[in-house]
Structure 1
Amino acid sequence: MVKIDFGESILAPMAGITGFPFRKTALKYRADFCFTEMISALGFLHNDKRTIELTEAGNYIERTGIQLFGSTPDILARAAEKAVDKGFKVIDINMGCPVKKVVKTGAGSAILKDINVFYLIVEAVRRAIKDSVLTIKIRSGFDESSVNFIEIAKIAESSGVDAIFFHPRARSLMFSGVADHSLTKMLKNTVNIPVYASGDVFSVADAVRIKQYTGADGIIFARGAIGKPWIFTEYVDTVKLGGITQPIKNKQKIDIMIELTEAVSSFYGKERGCGIMKPHLYSFLRGFKGSKALRVMVNNARNEGEIINILKISIEEELSGD
């Protein structure tokens, strides 16, 4: 049986965000583990060019899991087997994505509506990948009238799932309201397999509070890590040393964003990489004085050089008192 230590801090799979360059950067700044973007099982089996690009892991495959989505047990099982053959030791099945175009195919959180389909998928993938690690990402239920995560989790545990990544919102809530981590605590107290907490982790303080309250085995950073790959360093220092001993200065943050921009540009090309960097930059600039004007500049940027210019000149000037 393959054993994986996911550690304290995990980078969540996020469409359009957790491509190889950002995953590599997050791992450099002390994320313990990371996941690919959500990958279509069917596209992966058909060797779709963009889908295969999403599976790139470089020398970090030991610390990278692949997240697959689909609705057909056989297709998910064959895709999982192919991922293992490619070198992945952790296969995660997405059963939590709330996005309409995914749900309408019967994938993502739509699977939570049918316990039998859930069981068939888990059983098929578990059989296909043999001793490799199998995890699932779930929400609390499809809607607030069908909150069934405990039933789902018990079936998962008895079917050989190795860990659960849990977002305590029903699919119907999307990302509105507040993630109810009393449900995470309940889940952790119900099953004997590891439970990792996801949802509304926007800061180190959020992560520490949720970890302490729920007793979760680790924290999954999603939206809170966009444009802030150093959040892992700050969280690990807080957990292991009792506090952030060396806060990352704004100048260093700018340097990290330039480093990420260059990595993204190198991997995707200067123009395509520019578009991929924009969500990171919008998040990075939030809350800064003059951020509105700077974000407009980012929105109008057309290539790597223009983004780096904004980071080197405009932002550095804005933070010159750091």
Structure 2
Amino acid sequence: MARRNLNDLLYFITIAREGSFTRAAAHLGVTQSALSQAINGLEARLRIRLLTRTTRSVSPTAAGERLLNAIGHRFDEIESELDALTELRDKPSGTVRITCGDNVLQTILLLKLAPLLREYPDVKLEFDVNYGLRDIVADRFDAGVRLGSTIDKDMIAIPIGPPLRMAVVASPAYLADHPAPKQPHDLMAHNCINQRMATSGGLYVWDFERKGRKLNVRVDGQLIFNTAQPQVDAALAGLGVTLLPEDEVMAHIEAGRLVRVLEDWCPPFAGYHLYYPSRRQPSPAFALVVDALRYAKPGGAKSS
């Protein structure tokens, strides 16, 4: 295919991945009409429909899916190689895109990456705060951040924080009116603050373990949220008991605003990890981000 059609192919890949002419145009920095003309021309030359268009969405046809699978990763490889050329510059540059939750963004990522930004002014960071399990390859992120136990095995996972524990907490005012639970099943008699999971759409099942004994408890209560901060706020207001990673509530526990219960039923688990595809060719800017975030155990070297 002639060189002049490479832009048309890039436009097609972006539209197919974004599922929208509007989002693709914004991503590419061109107008929607230019995209539409390019795709119409590409389909005319190939004499086959590549995209199915409706008033609400755009999706690849069978032929479009075949073309996307055949060439999409090659454009990604070209982009990675172009990024890698910055290695030959005096200073690394480029944009690193990371999807993560807001708490880890505030408590780990920004704190660790601020010195890097000051030292390398040509490096840019873009954060996507999202609680769903984003497909970082399909959504073209350089990396994501999740708890270690939730990362797919085909990804490279780098620890960026210490092991964590869950914490069951309530306000002193709430516990003054309700006896503190002694066993996980006691929670069934409490007004528990639930979380709707972004991935499954179901309510989070509270899980516990002590001395090898595991328990799952389906709690009930008046409040359901889909993110952590409202759960913290509701617990502080005395509206019930909630279960969250301890880093979300530790400051309130230490200040006495929240009281921790069932601590012996909450063992440590793998903390936050930065993850990215094993086949990814890291750019110099991305390598700097990985090194800056890598967790160093107290008194020891950084984790590998």
TM normalised by structure 2 equals 0.25
Greater share of helix: 1
Rg (Cα) greater in structure: 2
Instruction: Kindly indicate whether structure 1 or structure 2 has the higher relative contact order, using CA contacts under 8 Å at least 6 residues apart.
Output: 2
Greater share of strand: 2
